[in-house]
């Protein structure tokens, strides 16, 4: 009861700040019942004069409310399906920058997390060089057994941030329940689900071991990419509150002029940004979902380097095929192909017509082919595509929305380096390579072998199942002869059925292989 009252007071403060900064202008009153329309009208009387549009007010309100709400806003920036494109674009500019906490406090966090004095771990440990709401970064130097010294970037968690976030999270959960209770229609925005997704995302971001694991996975996936790399985590100097990784000397992607002055080719780097992202998304199914200029550098060898792996995205095989096929379909102007892959992936219900859907997609594709390649936005095409699919009852896919928003950012970075970049020509080699490998003859053969492996595993389990059944039979025989005879008869029947099932499974496997190699 007391907890609910506290959450009510904290929620009232949040509501007041949102109203004061004009964020309530984002709410469409036509979708609200009468009592909530009155409450909205009353709340908007609290707005400060001279405010801009509601999206700007939402950013201002979240900044006033503190770091947890800034994180919430940055998360909403990846969900235009909830807040709208205008608000999502505005929320992207939320700055997660706060004053650093004292050096002495940082040293204590490191010592507690790693279990040794800082002097025993590092040759030197600098003052903070960057600070955010969750952590700050220091530059440190370690000495290897052979006497070699190496520089590391050490990320130290801000004390008390986990506890503060958990407190604010309870308020967000309380407000989501209130919204649902007052307006069941608002459930289409899934406020409770959004809060829980945010909770999982930030709690993972607050365990630096998971961030190090993400960096390690990306490094393994991209080890053969000559134009891209990530800093290597230092596992022995990493814990939940401390992340140590290779220090990267390089030029950030804030300015094409700065890159050119350092001897790099901005146009080539722009192409690398696009192709690296698409390789991660389509080839690997695991991509850096926060690839803005501040998280990208170019090292002395001219390789693109990504840092900060707190926000990552995953795509399953269906989603990867979906992305590759629709991009290639637009490149080739094959709109029926784009439509079919939506149906094959199960994204559009089968009661709709493929031809009608292809016609709707043509309305997106044909206008872009009337323009110069450097004027076509790949991310805008995907945005329009998702708008069209809503008319055909395509349900929102969180992973695809995050992909689309990341592509908006990546495309913006690439075009800032080369305004005339042809996104489609740049993307085509990555897309074609994946489709050739996974959807062509080689891919079909691989699918056939995978089917054979699965069937073989099933067949291999049959002797074990028969042994277990025999043990049960023996135990029941000890309990009663009559029951055992009935069960023995049942076991023999099941045994014959298992034999025929085995033959059928092998038949399916052989058929799958024949179909696969016929495609080859």
Active-site residue list: 290
Say if CB 192 and CB 180 are below 8 A apart: yes
List, in sequence order, every residue forming a beta bridge with 287; answer none if it has no partner.
313
Tell how strand 304-306 and strand 228-229 pair up: parallel
DSSP state of 233: B
Contacts of 429 (CB under 8 A, 6+ apart): 275
Rounded distance between C-alpha atoms, residue 297 and residue 410, angstroms: 13
Rounded distance between C-alpha atoms, residue 109 and residue 119, angstroms: 14
Cβ atoms < 10 Å from Cβ of 300: 12
Say if CB 361 and CB 385 are below 8 A apart: yes
Tokens 């399916």 locate to 508
Output the DSSP codes for 155-220: EEEPTTHHHHHHHHHHHHHHHHHHHHHH-GGGGGG-HHHHHHHHHHHHHHHT-HHHHHHHHHHHHH
Say if CB 82 and CB 209 are below 8 A apart: no
The distance from CA 165 to its chain's CA centroid, rounded to whole angstroms, is 21
Residue 167 in tokens: 């407190």
Rounded distance between C-alpha atoms, residue 381 and residue 146, angstroms: 54
Nearest 5°: CA angle at 454, between 452 and 458?
Answer: 115
Say if CB 511 and CB 448 are below 8 A apart: no
As to burial, measured by CB atoms within 10 angstroms (0-12 exposed, 13-18 middle, 19+ buried), residue 85 is middle
Cα separation values, 309 from 151, 208, 250, 399, 413, Å: 19, 9, 18, 17, 18
As to burial, measured by CB atoms within 10 angstroms (0-12 exposed, 13-18 middle, 19+ buried), residue 412 is middle
Angle, nearest 10°, between helix axes 317-332 and 423-438?
130
Say if CB 392 and CB 77 are below 8 A apart: no
Cβ atoms < 10 Å from Cβ of 202: 22
């Amino acid at each position: 009861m007391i907890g609910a009252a506290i959450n009510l007071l904290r929620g009232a403060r949040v509501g007041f700040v949102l109203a004061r900064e004009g964020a309530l202008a984002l709410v469409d009153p036509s979708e609200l019942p009468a009592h909530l329309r009155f409450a909205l009208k009353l709340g908007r009387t609290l707005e400060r004069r001279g405010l801009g549009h509601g999206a700007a007010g939402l950013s201002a309100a979240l900044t006033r409310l503190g770091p947890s709400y800034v994180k919430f806003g940055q998360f909403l920036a990846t969900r235009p399906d909830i807040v709208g494109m205008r608000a999502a674009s505005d929320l992207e500019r939320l700055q997660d920058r706060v004053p650093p906490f004292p050096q002495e406090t940082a040293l204590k966090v490191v010592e507690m997390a790693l279990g040794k004095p800082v002097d025993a771990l590092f040759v030197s440990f600098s003052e903070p060089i960057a600070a955010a709401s969750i952590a700050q970064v220091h530059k440190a130097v370690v000495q290897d057994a052979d006497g070699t010294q190496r520089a590391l970037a050490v990320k130290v968690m801000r004390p008390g941030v986990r506890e503060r976030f958990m407190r604010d999270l309870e308020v967000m959960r309380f407000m989501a329940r209130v919204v649902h209770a007052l307006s069941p229609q608002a459930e289409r925005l899934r406020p409770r689900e959004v809060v829980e997704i945010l909770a999982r995302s930030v709690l993972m971001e607050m365990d630096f071991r998971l961030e190090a694991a993400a960096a390690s996975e990306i490094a393994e996936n991209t080890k053969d990419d000559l134009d891209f790399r990530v800093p290597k985590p230092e596992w022995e100097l990493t814990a939940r509150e401390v992340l140590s990784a290779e220090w990267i000397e390089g030029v950030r992607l804030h300015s094409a002029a700065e890159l050119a002055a350092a001897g790099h080719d901005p146009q080539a780097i722009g192409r690398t940004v696009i192709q690296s992202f698409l390789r991660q998304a389509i080839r690997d199914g695991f991509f850096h979902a926060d690839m803005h200029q501040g998280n990208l550098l170019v090292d002395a060898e001219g390789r693109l380097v990504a840092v900060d792996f707190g926000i990552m995205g995953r795509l399953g095989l269906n989603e990867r095929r979906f992305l590759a096929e629709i991009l290639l379909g637009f490149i080739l102007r094959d709109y029926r192909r784009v439509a079919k892959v939506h149906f094959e992936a199960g994204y559009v219900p089968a009661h709709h017509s493929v031809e009608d859907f292809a016609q709707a997609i043509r309305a997106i594709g044909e206008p872009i082919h009337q323009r110069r390649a450097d004027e076509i936005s790949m991310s805008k095409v995907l945005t329009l595509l998702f708008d069209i699919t809503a008319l055909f009852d395509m349900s929102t896919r969180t992973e695809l929305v995050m992909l689309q928003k990341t592509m908006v950012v990546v495309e913006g970075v690439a075009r800032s380096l080369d305004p005339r970049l042809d996104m489609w020509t740049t993307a085509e080699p990555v897309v074609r390579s994946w489709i050739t490998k996974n959807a062509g003859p080689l891919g079909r053969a691989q699918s056939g072998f995978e089917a054979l492996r699965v069937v073989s595993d099933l067949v291999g389990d049959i002797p074990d199942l028969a042994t277990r059944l025999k043990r049960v039979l023996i135990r029941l025989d000890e309990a009663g002869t009559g029951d055992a005879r009935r069960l023995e008869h049942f076991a023999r029947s099941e045994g014959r059925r298992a034999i025929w099932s085995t033959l059928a499974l092998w038949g399916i496997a052989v058929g799958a292989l024949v179909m696969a190699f016929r495609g080859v």
